Amino acid sequence: MPVITLPDGSQRSYEQPVSVLDIAADIGAGLARATLAAEVDGRLVDASYRVDADTGLRIITGRDDEGLEILRHSCAHLMAQAVKELFPQAQVTIGPVIEDGFYYDFAFERSFTPEDLAAIEAKMKELAQQDLGVSRAVMGRDEAVAFFRNLGEEYKAQIIEAIPADEELSLYRQGDFTDLCRGPHVPSTGKLTAFKLTKLAGAYWRGDPANEMLQRIYGTAWPDRKALKQYLRRLEEAEKRDHRKLGRKQDLFHFQEEAPGLVFWHPHGWTLYNTIRDYIRSKLALRGYREINTPLVLDRSLWEKSGHWDKFHADMFTTSSENRDYAIKPMNCPGHIQVFNQGLKSYRDLPLRFSEFGSCHRNEASGTLHGLMRVRGFIQDDAHIFCTEAQIQQEVSDFIDLLFEVYGDFGFHEVIMKLSTRPENRVGDDSSWDKAEQALEQALNAKGVDWDLQPGEGAFYGPKIDFSLKDSIGRVWQCGTIQADFSMPGRLGAQYVDDNSDRQAPVMLHRAILGSLERFIGIIIEHYAGSFPLWLAPVQVVVASITQHQADYARSVAQAMTDQGFRVNTDLRNETINLKIREHALQRIPYQLIIGAREAEGNTVAVRTRDGKDLGVLSLAGFIERLNSEAAEYREE
């Protein structure tokens, strides 16, 4: 007679084994209709799962994170079923859940078209309306290989052949379609009511460019149509804010085939870049960071000692000279240890904070490159803090304060924090990992902030806290990090003399706030839709004359503001003022000063904002006072 303990502590008893769905129906008809799966003693199971012993149970619906993932995974299967019904010769390969949706890769003799995409989505809706039951079966590996080969699914057979022979596999069937999956899945296709296919792309089999190219279909799925519509509206808004389009429109940067994944910065873009870099540089200087610069190219042996070569050598650009192998640095940490190693340090020297705007390069696959968001060459606002174990918590606490201050200045006020602990493949002993993880956890708790745990997601050399910010349309971007490393300093010979005159390896805290400056700039372009706050705008004011007669006065106005440290352009072209206003509005310049005969005679300026608001006629001194006040606002938030 199983006794079921629910999350609120209440219990229900049954005379015989009972399914999750029956338990949900016993609680209430509404819950039964919403049930997708359940968590039984920490394990996710299907709604058809029968409980035959005392256990704790939590019903999973579409409102739960796990439920949303189940909906999306089930939609991937629904899409594969639709493809097979429309295109029987297509082979299914891999179809995982991703952020905000899912995809499935297919092998097919021709390229899918947008018309095919629409037909597949229509077939999915038809299959969903049929409310086909979804059932689970268990099969041995060799039997599963034979089963899929008999269906002509060679790719699926290859996937299964890589699984250990003694492992039982679960298969899910809906209608005439069967797929390999760990599950759980929705009880029936009728639960899938809010989905949309979004795009087509190419993808190599197993992600290897040496393999054949497959076709990837992306989709999104949500618990209800309202949530789907909201997401699609966000997609439309994101499309309007695409930093690649705005980068061209505002003449900030470009990419070209001769340098894939590497940015050509234009004057306005480089102004934005330097404004951000100078801002971070000033913040770090006030907090005791000492800026250094380390070589771009380092001998392979150093990367082997640090442990990076074993983990990342496939992503490194390499070169050789005079029978020596070198790597172009993908990160700055080994170089910073070399600076620390110059001259013996005392415990009195710690903490020692080295910062560097280090130029790094990573050999990202060409298919993953995406504007500024994923590049091969980038600069980090990188820093490493060398400290004792006793100093870790204070340094982490100070870093969190700095990070929140910086994010607030850039207009990000919602920050998500996650503590990632030891991965399976790591360096260092468990006692060091214990100390590092405890120090980061205690620092978070001491700050009184909310945070989530990510077991097994730490760096290979230490646990980390990752900081993600939420932008103006609700997207989450992981940017900042701080990582506690007890291993790499010792591997590279770093030592200090402690208060007992013994030599110890320091702890190294790897930390960044913005991460890659390139990626961060892409984020803020989209966050502000190109309408930067005054302090960030590459051009803050444009002075436009109505006729050539006001050119000299316009130049003097521009010079006066330039002398005050503002970034000012003049537009003295022999064009209509309306054309000038439209062009500069498209450039999203914060202020336009219109100079006509009246302004020139009265030593005044007519002020327009980028959103078209007319602020009237102001004295030049009054307008400069307004600029100074607005430029300082970010520091007061």
Distance separating the N- and C-terminal Cα atoms of the chain: 60
Determine whether 362 is an active site residue. Answer: yes
Per annotation, catalytic residue among 105, 116, 382, 409: 382
Per annotation, catalytic residue among 510, 519, 527, 584: 510
Helix, strand, coil abundance in the chain, percent, nearest 5: 40, 30, 30
Residue 146, CB-side half-sphere exposure with 13 Å CA sphere: 5
Count, residues in the chain: 637
Which strands, in side-by-side order, build the sheet including 134-140?
A: 134-140, 168-174, 177-180
- Give φ, ψ of 133 to 5 degrees: -65, 145
Per annotation, catalytic residue among 75, 333, 387, 479: 333
Per annotation, catalytic residue among 464, 475, 491, 580: 464
CA distance 541 to 591: 5
CA distance 511 to 284: 12
CA distance 494 to 168: 49
DSSP conformation letters of 244-261: HHHHHHTT-EE--TTSTT
- Give φ, ψ of 317 to 5 degrees: -85, 130
Determine whether 181 is an active site residue. Answer: no
Identify the DSSP state of 65: H
- Helices 392-409 and 267-286: crossing angle in degrees, nearest 10, is 140
Our measurement of the distance from residue 491's CA atom to the centroid of its chain's CA atoms, rounded to an integer in Å, reads 31
Secondary structure class of 224 (helix, strand, coil): coil
Q: Are the beta carbons of 317 and 296 closer than 8 angstroms?
A: no
Prior bond to 184 cis, omega within 30?
yes
Secondary structure class of 195 (helix, strand, coil): strand
Secondary structure class of 40 (helix, strand, coil): strand
Per annotation, catalytic residue among 241, 243, 329, 362: 362
Determine whether 384 is an active site residue. Answer: yes
Secondary structure class of 218 (helix, strand, coil): strand
Per annotation, catalytic residue among 123, 268, 384, 519: 384
From the list 91, 87, 89, the residue with the least C-alpha distance to 105 is 91
Determine whether 580 is an active site residue. Answer: no
Q: Are the beta carbons of 329 and 296 closer than 8 angstroms?
A: yes
Determine whether 380 is an active site residue. Answer: yes
Q: Residue 419: beta bridge partners?
A: 453, 465
Write the CB contacts of 295 (distance below 8 Å, at least 6 apart in sequence). Answer: 329, 335
Determine whether 510 is an active site residue. Answer: yes
Per annotation, catalytic residue among 91, 174, 380, 391: 380
Catalytic residues: 333, 362, 380, 382, 384, 464, 510
